[in-house]
Amino acid sequence: MENATGLAARLREGLASVVAGNDRPALALLIAVFAGGHVLLEGVPGTGKTLFVRTLARLLGIGFSRVQFTPDLMPSDIVGTTVYNPKTGEFSVRLGPIFANLVLADEVNRTPPKTQSALIEAMEEGRVTIDAETHMLPNPFILCATQNPVEYEGTYPLPEAQRDRFLVRARTEYPSSDQERDLLSRAARGFDSNDLARLGIEPVADAAAVVHAREETRKVRLVEALRDYIYAIAERSRQLPTVALGASPRAAIALLRASQAVAIISGRDFIVPDDVKQAAPLVLPHRFVLDADAELDGLTAESVVEGILNDLPVPKEATAQI
């Protein structure tokens, strides 16, 4: 079976062949695959959020389902429900679309919080409860949610508890001028993002390969100095007067797991400080709640994370002990 580093290289190459630019969302998706977590992609319509996820699903060769989140969507439309069969006089469970290895929750912030919260048990525990009966989700299980910017009409902000369940969040951006010109040239030559098979995107893995890659990722070495560095980042976020809600212990663990994944993606079996610095902007900002005055002053969660990384010294022992 192919090792995790080789699989990461093939996945990254496949994503880059379809979606121009946007290296950070691609990295976020790969972190979710290798660290075992969920990803939130945010951006304006037409910047490739859904295409990213569809391409990843085809590359992984695992079960895929898509749920279009709308204001009238109910929790049972996602997890499933109990139905009555009048012919047999018996009840049976009809499983919802969440029972897939990779689930695309498209425009997740278009539906009210009641329905959004139906995802929390699945994201945290890999299972759902239908009429007091527990059902385990497939392994691996990855939720990839997309959302439009919160200032758009008809959106509902995700609750803090749900945002904290996303391992990473990334924003899709407009491509550069050269990338967009290239995209237009490809479209003129017949490029069709809806036909991934015609574009040469074929599976490079399966469910067993993903599980194996995650096992390898968990074995990535972490020296004590870097463990303390990760703790210091989380602790500093809780001490800042501009931050009303900083990084939780879950966030610190997420930063550790994501740093392990970045190391694997970079071709190493040990973490270096740059791995933590690459992972932190994807893992931490969406978990922060800023003080009201800080928001009025134009401060953002991303700038807070950047400030923490700039202020905290990188431990010299982190390199010396590797």
Cα–Cα distance measured from residue 197 to residue 17, given in angstroms and rounded to the nearest whole number: 13
pLDDT at 150: 62
Average pLDDT over residues 9-15: 92
Least confident range from 21-30, 180-189, 208-217, 230-239: namely 180-189
Query: Residue 272 pairs with which residues in a beta bridge?
Result: none
The structure tokens listed for 182 are: 């290239």
Compute the mean pLDDT over every residue in the chain, rounded to the nearest whole number: 89
Task: List the one residue out of 299, 267, 283 whose CA is nearest residue 28.
Answer: 283
Residues near 17 by Cβ (< 8 Å), separated by ≥ 6?
199, 200, 201
316 burial (CB, 10 Å; 0-12 / 13-18 / 19+) is exposed
Higher pLDDT, 17 or 313: 313
pLDDT at 154: 66
pLDDT of 212 strictly over 90: yes
The number of residues making up the chain comes to 322
Is residue 159 classed as helix, strand or coil in its secondary structure? coil
The secondary structure of residue 175, as a DSSP letter, is P
Distance (Å, rounded) from C-alpha 279 to C-alpha 136? 29
pLDDT per residue over 136-187, tens digit each? Answer: 999 999 999 999 876 566 678 888 888 899 999 999 888 888 888 887 887 7
| pLDDT of 1 strictly over 60 | no
Q: Hey, what domains does the chain have and what are their CATH numbers?
A: 4-212 (3.40.50.300), 220-320 (1.10.8.80)
pLDDT band of 67, cuts 50, 70, 90? very high
Place of tokens 């973490």: 271
pLDDT level of residue 83 (50, 70, 90 thresholds): confident
Rounded Cα distance, 23 and 30, in Å: 11
- The stretch 17-38 carries a mean pLDDT of 90
In this predicted structure, the answer to whether residue 207 has a pLDDT above a threshold of 90 is yes
**In the predicted model, is pLDDT for residue 57 greater than 90?**
yes
Per the structure block, which two tokens stand in for 305?
């994370």
